[in-house]
């Protein structure tokens, strides 16, 4: 058979099969499954195949006429596909800009390739280059349109079949013209097979469309194009990658192929076509690729900065009326998601989830609890799954709806169930009612809702932790107060025990009796003051004191211990504002501690002086056992840490520092093991000057 007869047979067979496909398109048009433009495109393709069949039998077409035929064919498919996409989205709000852009591109290309450039071409080589380039660019543009039809038709079977069939011969055209660009000429064998390839695609389309249409009316597309840049997605990316792959493979074949050139070329082409077929035929592969490209190359549906700021504002704002944190968290979620109401379920600490807050939703009439070990909670926890009870059965979100608990079916207008996770722990979940307007869920919505769920869960956990910490601090304050009371009572008991111990020996001594009465009276007053402080009926208040008298009384109380303290008063007119009993008690305590740490033949010196910065200084110095630097830094002022086994509570030094700091002063300690210790107490003095109101100014 002559080569011309092979080409003629290929294109004539393609024309016949395309004519059958045109009749099927008319049938679908009558059934209102496709648009009039798509049916016309099928007839244009049939005419194109017939013209090329006649030209292969009796060549009469010029290159310019051939370009016109190709432009009409590609343009017909582009226009028909875009009109079909608009038809399947007729009940949706879509943006007209992308459609106009696609139409403008192919119309502009048609004018340039058919009218403008042919007028300035003066030789056959330039006309050939124009033909190859025009077909290449128009085929890429047509692939983009077909990809959008497939992408935005997840439930429309007619559109899916059309997309796959058109993609088959368009990819073949892409290979044909990319080969021609690479090697500078059209491959004759590939060109001859083009008619048969188009016929095979038409045959596939005819049987596929008839089979699909016999199953009933296809469902209208439920996904609308949301933004212009979605048109520049996997179609253009696949075409560019295909060209790059063909160019690299062709270069290798040309340079190093040798006898293996044809084998390598066929293998490369087959691998590329299989890869593209996997992307188009596999829902999972195509969905993953689409999400990956959307995430990394396109403008997102949400302004995540504003969404994040809005969520933080709702969680941290202070309402005029104190609001429960769980109610605030629920309100924040519903405001971000833009739904009408919701319900918050939290763990009750006994392995059960219960509803604790609601907003415009009614509680279920029964089964108020959900076991944390149920399959429903396990899916929320392990897969961070967003349940959609209202999703259609063939929708991806309905995969686990069989595990929904019984109470979910009683909830009216239930839309979503969002997990609330902290790390990998499920602390609760949120039920949301339907949004106020029609809302189609995408991967961006699910990512946003999961992120909001995690942030709100973290907010609730922090709030609960803060509440527990506040309670702990209250108990800590109570325990600290109890320890102070116990410490004061210990001193009073020691004072009373000393009176009882000496009573039998000196009961006949009138002076002892007078001193005993004075001691008991002092103890009663101190216990009364302590009781008033515990009852908070009298706030702690200080008065102006002669510091000299405080020091003398403290030293006198310690004279019965060894070694007896010595006193040096370098200034006897120092005055401070403090509570007399407390100040005397802490000075006495420090002196007694020094005596306990010092052997009987050692010394304990007490000095009273002042400094230029209006600070009264009380120094208690001893040459006892001393303390090392680690004890000074880490244990000396730590409450309830004592070295007096069975004798103390370990809060005396801590209480001393807290009391002095409340007066505006401080306690400093210098010590060295085996040498001795010096306690220095600094207290702001009362200035001698008085103001016009007759009050004493203090520093």
**Per-residue pLDDT tens over the stretch 403-430:** 888 888 877 778 888 898 888 888 899 8
User: What per-residue confidence (pLDDT) applies to 223?
Assistant: 36
Q: Which residues of the chain fall short of a pLDDT of 50? A: 1-3, 217-237, 239, 247, 251, 254, 258-260, 262, 297-299, 537-539, 646, 649, 690-699
Q: Report if residue 482 sits inside a domain.
A: no
Q: Can you give the C-alpha Rg of the chain in angstroms?
A: 46
Residues 211 and 256 in one domain: no
Residues 681 and 577 in one domain: yes
Q: Report if residue 225 sits inside a domain.
A: no
Residues 291 and 387 in one domain: no
User: Where among 191, 220, 249 does a domain terminate?
Assistant: 220
Residues 137 and 214 in one domain: yes
The count of domains in the chain is 4
Residues 28 and 154 in one domain: yes
User: Where among 422, 448, 464 does a domain terminate?
Assistant: 464
User: What per-residue confidence (pLDDT) applies to 319?
Assistant: 61
Total H helices, total E strands in the chain: 19, 14
Residues 561 and 658 in one domain: yes
pLDDT, tens only, 548-603 = 999 998 998 888 888 999 999 998 888 999 888 788 888 988 998 899 889 999 99
Q: How far apart are CA 645 and CA 626, in angstroms?
A: 17
Q: How many residues does the chain have?
A: 699
Q: What is the mean pLDDT of the chain?
A: 76
Rounded to two decimals, what is the model's pTM? Answer: 0.38
Q: Please report, for the domain that includes residue 569, its CATH number.
A: 3.30.565.10
Residues 156 and 12 in one domain: yes
Residues 284 and 208 in one domain: no
Q: How far apart are CA 20 and CA 200, in angstroms?
A: 12
The pair of structure tokens assigned to 276 is: 């593209």
| Cβ–Cβ < 8 Å for 108, 40 | no
Q: How far apart are CA 193 and CA 7, in angstroms?
A: 7
Q: Report if residue 550 sits inside a domain.
A: yes
Q: Report if residue 679 sits inside a domain.
A: yes
Q: Which residues, listed in sequence order, are joined to residue 544 by a DSSP beta bridge? A: 577
Residues 27 and 112 in one domain: yes
User: What per-residue confidence (pLDDT) applies to 100?
Assistant: 67
| Cβ–Cβ < 8 Å for 562, 600 | yes
Residues 182 and 211 in one domain: yes
Q: Report if residue 490 sits inside a domain.
A: no
Residues 155 and 260 in one domain: no
**Can you give the residue range of the structural domain that contains 683?**
541-698
User: What per-residue confidence (pLDDT) applies to 518?
Assistant: 78
Q: Report if residue 618 sits inside a domain.
A: yes
Residues 195 and 242 in one domain: no
Q: How far apart are CA 65 and CA 75, in angstroms?
A: 15
| Cβ–Cβ < 8 Å for 225, 94 | yes
User: What per-residue confidence (pLDDT) applies to 698?
Assistant: 38
User: Where among 200, 220, 240 does a domain terminate?
Assistant: 220
Q: How far apart are CA 256 and CA 601, in angstroms?
A: 105
User: What per-residue confidence (pLDDT) applies to 680?
Assistant: 93
Q: Report if residue 520 sits inside a domain.
A: no
């Amino acid at each position: 058979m002559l080569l011309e007869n092979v080409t003629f047979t290929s294109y004539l067979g393609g024309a016949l099969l395309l004519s059958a496909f045109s009749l099927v398109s008319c049938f679908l048009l009558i059934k209102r499954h496709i648009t009039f433009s798509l049916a016309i495109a099928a007839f244009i393709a049939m005419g194109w195949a017939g013209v090329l069949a006649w030209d292969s039998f009796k060549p009469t077409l010029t290159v310019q006429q051939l370009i016109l035929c190709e432009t009409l064919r590609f343009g017909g498919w582009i226009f028909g596909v875009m009109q079909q996409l608009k038809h399947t989205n007729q009940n949706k709000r879509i943006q007209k800009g992308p459609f106009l852009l696609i139409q403008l591109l192919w119309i502009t290309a048609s004018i340039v390739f058919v009218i403008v450039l042919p007028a300035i071409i003066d030789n056959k080589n330039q006309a050939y280059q124009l033909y190859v380039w025009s077909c290449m660019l128009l085929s890429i543009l047509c692939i983009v349109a077909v990809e959008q039809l497939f992408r935005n038709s997840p439930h429309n079977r007619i559109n899916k079949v059309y997309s796959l069939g058109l993609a088959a011969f368009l990819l073949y055209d892409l290979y044909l013209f990319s080969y021609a660009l690479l090697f500078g000429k059209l491959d004759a064998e590939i060109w001859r097979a083009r008619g048969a390839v188009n016929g095979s695609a038409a045959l596939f389309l005819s049987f596929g469309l008839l089979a699909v249409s016999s199953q009933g009316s296809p469902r209208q597309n439920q996904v609308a194009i949301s933004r212009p840049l979605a048109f520049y997605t996997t179609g253009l990316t696949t075409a560019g990658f295909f060209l790059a792959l063909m160019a690299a493979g062709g270069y290798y074949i040309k340079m190093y192929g040798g006898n293996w050139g044809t084998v390598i070329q066929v293998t490369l082409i087959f691998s590329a076509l299989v890869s593209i077929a996997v992307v188009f035929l596999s829902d999972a592969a195509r969905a993953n690729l689409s999400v990956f490209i959307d995430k990394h190359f396109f403008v997102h549906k949400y302004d995540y900065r504003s969404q994040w700021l809005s969520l933080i504002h709702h969680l941290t704002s202070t309402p005029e009326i104190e609001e429960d944190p769980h109610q605030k968290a629920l309100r924040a979620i519903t405001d971000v998601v833009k739904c009408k109401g919701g319900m918050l379920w939290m763990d009750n600490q006994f392995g059960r989830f219960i509803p604790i807050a609601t907003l415009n939703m009614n509680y279920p009439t029964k089964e108020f609890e959900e076991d944390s070990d149920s399959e429903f909670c396990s899916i929320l926890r392990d897969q961070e799954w967003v349940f959609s009870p209202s999703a259609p059965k063939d929708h991806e979100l309905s995969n686990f709806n069989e595990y929904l608990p019984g109470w979910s079916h009683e909830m009216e207008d239930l839309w979503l169930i969002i997990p609330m996770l902290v790390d990998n722990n499920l602390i609760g979940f949120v039920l949301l009612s339907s949004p106020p307007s029609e809302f189609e869920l995408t991967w961006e919505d699910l990512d946003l809702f999961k992120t909001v769920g995690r942030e709100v869960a973290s907010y609730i956990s922090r709030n609960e932790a803060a509440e527990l910490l506040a309670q702990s601090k209250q108990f800590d304050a109570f325990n600290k107060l109890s320890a102070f009371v116990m410490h004061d009572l210990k001193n009073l008991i020691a004072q009373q025990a000393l009176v009882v111990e000496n009573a039998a020996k000196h009961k006949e001594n009138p002076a002892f009796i007078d001193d005993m009465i004075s001691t008991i009276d002092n103890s009663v007053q101190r216990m009364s003051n302590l009781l008033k402080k515990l009852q908070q009926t009298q706030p702690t208040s200080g008065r102006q004191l002669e510091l000299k008298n405080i020091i003398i009384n403290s030293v006198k109380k310690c004279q019965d211990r060894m070694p007896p303290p010595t006193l040096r008063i370098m200034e006897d007119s120092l005055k401070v504002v403090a509570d007399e009993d407390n100040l005397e008690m802490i000075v006495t305590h420090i002196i007694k501690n020094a005596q306990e740490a010092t052997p009987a033949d050692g010394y304990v010196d007490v000095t009273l002086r002042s400094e230029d910065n209006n600070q009264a200084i009380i120094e208690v110095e001893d040459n006892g056992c001393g303390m090392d630097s680690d004890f000074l830094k880490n244990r000396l002022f730590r409450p309830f840490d004592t070295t007096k086994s069975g004798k103390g509570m370990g809060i005396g030094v801590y209480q001393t520092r807290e009391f002095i700091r409340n007066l505006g002063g401080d306690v400093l300690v210098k010590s060295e093991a085996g040498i001795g210790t010096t306690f220095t107490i600094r207290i702001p003095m009362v200035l001698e000057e008085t103001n016009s109101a007759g009050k004493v100014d203090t520093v």
